[in-house]
Amino acid sequence: MTDVVALLGHPVAHSLSPRMQNAAFAARGLDWLYVAIDVPSERLDEAVRGLAGLGFAGANVTAPHKQAVARLVGSELPSVNTLVGGEGHSTDAAVLDGLGAGLDSARACVIGDGGAAAAFRAALPGARVFSRKGEWPPDVGDAELVVNATPVRDELAFEPEAWALAVASGAPIVLREAATWLVENPFDPPAENWLILPLVSEDNMVGVVIARAREPIAIDPLSGTVLTLLGLQLSAGITTARLRQQVRHAEMERERRTLAAEVHDGLAQYLAVALRELALGDAGNQERLKESITEAHRLVRARLQELVAPAPLGGLKDAIEQSAERVRRRGLAVRVSGVGDGLGPEAVSLVTRVVSEALANVDAHANAHEVTVHFAVKGDQIQLDVADDGCGFDPATAPGVGEGHLGLTVMRERARAYGGDCTVESAPGAGTRIRLRIPA
């Protein structure tokens, strides 16, 4: 059986630890597996507690969780980077063991504010500490030992004044010093001659290009113009890519909600009725059971046909009457009234689906005798009211998505997506009224 070890952090996709550890396991002939698990802070407690239950032999902990995990496992250490058997350990400061007993911690400096820095601060109680949250920049001129426990950064962390300078200029910035007063120098060793090209889009920094040179950098007007134009092109590309991601995400979310609505509005309702009839076990209900299963089958076939055929066009009243007729066949009295044709297919589809959902809810839950459906087109607005004389309910305590009930949520979201609104008025013993208002 393979033993599995985890790396807990956020983010961890960039980590090379799985590759190195798995190579070491293979070289030693061990049947072990090392996996990186991205754990956001809000899921950390759950992840730590779940390690043993999921059969993990242990775990390493990386930024930004070392100190939080130490608290979760009740460790006396300020931070831990290893978990074995539910106990926390730290090897971050083990490198100090090779420096001998003569090290004067008062002549040491620790740079950083994270978990590794906390481990070194505990091992060097007299050391001076430098971080961006406290004393900065570091003054380590007289130190015998300097521990740089700052993480490797994937992006530059500009001071607020530096961001303002870069955004305001929109032009390349040439530096002829390490410039740690401006931004953490990204080069090792720190560059003395380097360039920052801010990528700005609508006064927002979307990225930065940095470059270094061995000799002092000099930019003539032509070079400055070329670099500025290059920055504008890169900024436009980044902005376009982000917009495409946002559009793609919005499209996926819309498709997800549409699919959930389709299943709920049709298949789920018919199957729910079928299950109810089965639970009653009354031979007299067999016809309704057969009808519900037949409707569920019909709906599946209809949805498949819709994938290869355009949506049919039709008048609003006819579409509402079709929805009402399905409920009438199950014994519920439905009166339809109103005038308003000539509407687009999207509007007709939305109103019809809200009517279908409202009538399905009445049939399943309201114990009503009659439902009235009234629609009208007034100016640039379509108005729909569906009222029943059923038992009613308290909308504030109605079950929602978390309990598996999507109906009211689906109606509201559909109306909101179309630029309108859908409200529910009800009270115990007073029936229910659904009001839909959308643009015509």
b/e map of 25-49 (b: 16 or more CB within 10 Å)?
beeeeeeeebebeebeeeebeebbe
Distance from C-alpha of 156 to C-alpha of 170, rounded to nearest angstrom: 17
For residue 373, with 0-12 CB atoms within 10 Å meaning exposed, 13-18 middle and 19 or more buried, which class applies? buried
**Is-catalytic flag, 290?**
no
**Which residue is associated with the tokens 């003569």?**
102
Distance from C-alpha of 119 to C-alpha of 79, rounded to nearest angstrom: 6
Q: Which residues are catalytic?
A: 66
